[in-house]
Amino acid sequence: MNTTPETTKKNTVFNVPNTLSLIRVLLVPAFVATLIFMRKIPIWGIVAPTLIYIITALTDALDGHIARKYNLITQFGKFIDPLADKFMVIASQFAIMAWLIMTAKDDSDAILALIFVWVVLIILFRELAVTGLRLAVGGKVDVAASIFGKMKTVSQMVGTVVMLVEPLTPFFKDNHILSYVVLAVMTFTTIFSFFEYLKAYLPHIDFSK
């Protein structure tokens, strides 16, 4: 079958969604670097990494939407998009964990950092477990993101931004109420989304092999 210029354009590796995914991969180290190395700079040490993270999160929201709307789905896109997502989630959470530990000034800050360590471990376990479930079914079934899966992603993005800007707020910077609220939501949605994936994939796993 002859390939039209339009089809060739749609199937190119460097279409808009794939380019956004690649940009996301490049922005993650920029976020980590600014968060860690600019931490002692007043205001901009928080504003700069927060802006980078928001842009990174926007690429995550846009690439899939554009790919589906304009039929720009490619094999490379199916590979790079989830890879970029995992890279963004894991790297950003570990960066914030390190940032919380390095910027802790009192017991309240230290307790928040300790709790965040456990939340990161839960998130990491969930990501690895879901990836393991997908490998276990050998591609026989592909489970679309559930409402809890989408809420998990949104809660992590919003929670990250809230925790970053909380030190700039006059009241919440000392008691960390905002951070504890978003951490609770992140933990809840992470755990429930895992059990939904487990319920969906478990019937398709052959335990006899």
**Do 84 and 124 fall into the same domain?**
no
Tokens of 149: 């899966």
**Do 99 and 110 fall into the same domain?**
no
What's the one-letter identity of residue 3? T
**Do 114 and 207 fall into the same domain?**
yes
CA–CA distance, 209 with 206 (Å, rounded to integer): 6
Average pLDDT score over residue span 163-188:
93
Average pLDDT score over residue span 95-116:
95
**Do 162 and 183 fall into the same domain?**
yes
Task: Name, in order, each residue with C-beta under 8 angstroms of 148's C-beta and a sequence gap of 6 or more.
Answer: 189, 192, 193, 196
pLDDT digits (tens, 9 = 90+) for 58-96: 998 898 888 888 888 888 888 888 889 889 989 999 999
Name the residue among 57, 53, 49, 65 with its Cα closest to residue 16: 65
**Do 8 and 90 fall into the same domain?**
yes
Q: Select from 103, 127, 154 the last residue of a domain.
A: 103
**Do 55 and 117 fall into the same domain?**
no
**Do 93 and 159 fall into the same domain?**
no
Res 137: pLDDT: 78
Res 71: pLDDT: 85
**Do 3 and 24 fall into the same domain?**
yes
**Do 49 and 116 fall into the same domain?**
no
**Do 111 and 72 fall into the same domain?**
no
Distance from the Cα of residue 169 to its chain's centroid: 24
Q: Select from 51, 85, 103 the last residue of a domain.
A: 103
pLDDT digits (tens, 9 = 90+) for 127-166: 899 888 888 877 666 666 667 778 888 999 999 999 999 9
**Do 112 and 80 fall into the same domain?**
no
Q: Select from 72, 103, 134 the last residue of a domain.
A: 103
pLDDT digits (tens, 9 = 90+) for 4-61: 444 444 557 778 889 999 999 999 999 999 999 999 999 999 999 999 999 999 998 8
Task: Name, in order, each residue with C-beta under 8 angstroms of 123's C-beta and a sequence gap of 6 or more.
Answer: 89, 90, 93, 156, 186, 190
Q: Are 92 and 161 in contact (CB under 8 A)?
A: no
Number of domains the chain contains: 2
Structural domain harbouring 73: 1-103
**Do 127 and 172 fall into the same domain?**
yes
Hey, how many other C-beta atoms are within 10 angstroms of the C-beta on 118?
A: 11
Task: Name, in order, each residue with C-beta under 8 angstroms of 152's C-beta and a sequence gap of 6 or more.
Answer: 186, 189, 190, 192, 193
